[in-house]
Structure 1
């Protein structure tokens, strides 16, 4: 019980610090995500089986677990599916670095540890430390096959089929025997994924991601609102029913009342780090009003050339 209070108090402190920073200063180095990640997210909990399908309105995601070759045993090892907040933080890191470097090749051997520190996540070693847990999720993302699709109306669908996020990774074992985890020194994003990321990047505030690093659901809500709110056209706001919200953000919660409670808790945290967001709780769901972007700065990436 005491440990839970310590964790809760650290989360509250991190959220309050991030809220004050975001309201006080503009972010000079925004993060970036593929816009489709605002519509469909990775699993919240570790899925059973090798496949995971998530369909939310116009967008869908299919994940299939893949293999990595163990350089020590020279055998292919089946990886699990990526899930949870850490996998989402890694996706943000890969997308952000690809946009900043204007290259599908992203170095990760040292940059991920530095990234963890910028998020305020202690980089602890050992088999059960935070570094090993991040590495495991990166390996899962590296091995997984991803299929994205998005319906744009008028019977038109865009689909990456199949489209792994990562097409190449140089793998090695850490020297520390306590951390014998496969660890990519760099990864190469697929050309399809990278081209679409350059065309339609979603700017987000990395300070918000750091503050919400404890909750995959809060990260998904933040990403969704960052994309959705600046695009609300209805003068009276856009109504989103709890049932639709549960389908998008609560596939792991069977009871609608339980989901509503968890969603509102996450939403309150999101609004702390997206202070210009205009969202009202109303009977039957939420009402979204047109709001300023979560972060103002946007990249000039169209027409730029990628590097090897």
Structure 2
């Protein structure tokens, strides 16, 4: 802690107390920007179990939350508007997401998650090998799979086409997706792109007796090549069923915001969920910890181990969605009506 404090030795401590309800953006404004907020967080003592924003900024993910919020604030100051690059996500992904990490055992080829109002099954695809065999390709997982899915869906919807040209080299594909273009990370990104292109997804919204199902591949067809022994997908076409669902049920997102939290799978899921839920609310809506865990806590054993990481992901999502209004309370989270991160503009009629 002493070494961290030394980084801010030139900043005079601000004795003004911060209300527990203050968001990271409030703290940035009142403490003089990124360094002032970081100095304040370093010198603060979190209150055990409270999980207010001021407590979270003093924790291990505090610097990351502050950095994302400061970048968002800088962009707002430069452009004069809150919105960044237009993006869209299918509403089904706002209720249920992909695995956070590589599933183990049979779940890598058939992965399922349920909530009281929706369910998703993701089945890994397969590919024919020159040797005559068949190789299984597991389900997509992690933060990069989410960013890819958001990128290709947004591009197709914005341009009113199911087809997207990704690039003639692996480097160009990675740059097109806005993801790291070198080393093992690049290999992981290209792997997740192939997993998405080959998987089959079944969304069910409703119950066993009444509901709606989208049951198809995300990608209908794709063309691939090899670049310096690195296979990559150069162009693809979304399936008609998935594209139609995306057109009928798009949720507006800010792709610049997604880029700022692109390394956190849970924060990306929480961000999309907030973009979906908050603009549709007419009154304050409480969500219990049990319901939150059912949606976002796959892979987490005890509820007590879920609350902390989820609260941090909430504040990381708010760092790039300043208009989001919610409060973490002992019983869970209270969502409050909020404007969307950006308006739905320029979409072709479904």
Counterpart Cα distance in 1 of 2:333 and 2:293:
12
Q: Say yes or no: does 1:248 pair with 2:248.
A: no
Count of aligned positions: 285
Q: Say yes or no: does 1:217 pair with 2:266.
A: yes
Could you say which residue in structure 2 is the equivalent of 1:61? Answer: 120
Counterpart Cα distance in 2 of 1:205 and 1:20:
15
Counterpart Cα distance in 2 of 1:285 and 1:222:
17
Given the alignment, which residue of 248, 251, 264 partners 1:199?
248
Counterpart Cα distance in 2 of 1:122 and 1:146:
26
Query: Per-residue deviation at 1:113?
Result: 2.0
Given the alignment, which residue of 13, 16, 41 partners 2:70?
16
Could you say which residue in structure 2 is the equivalent of 1:115? Answer: 176
The structure whose RCO (Cα within 8 Å, separation 6+) is larger is 1
Q: Say yes or no: does 1:140 pair with 2:187.
A: no
Given the alignment, which residue of 310, 316, 320 partners 1:269?
316
| TM-score for the superposition, normalised by structure 2 | 0.75
Cα-Cα RMSD: 2.5
Query: Per-residue deviation at 1:207?
Result: 1.4
In structure 1, stretches of 5+ residues that fail to align are 304-308
Could you say which residue in structure 2 is the equivalent of 1:90? Answer: 148
Which shifted more, 238-247 or 99-108?
A: 99-108
Query: Per-residue deviation at 1:63?
Result: 0.8
How do 1:1-308 residues align onto structure 2 when only pairs under 5 Å count? 12-22=66-76, 24-27=80-83, 29-48=85-104, 49=106, 50-70=109-129, 73=131, 75-109=133-167, 112-117=173-178, 121-124=179-182, 126=183, 128=184, 130-151=185-206, 156-161=210-215, 163-174=216-227, 176-177=228-229, 180=230, 182-234=231-283, 237-303=284-350
Query: Per-residue deviation at 1:283?
Result: 2.2
Query: Per-residue deviation at 1:221?
Result: 0.5
In structure 2, stretches of 5+ residues that fail to align are 4-59
Query: Per-residue deviation at 1:160?
Result: 2.0
Larger radius of gyration: 2
Check conservation: 1:15, 1:211, Cα contact below 8 A: no
SS at match of 2:319: helix
Check conservation: 1:239, 1:287, Cα contact below 8 A: yes
Counterpart Cα distance in 1 of 2:64 and 2:327:
27
SS at match of 1:295: coil
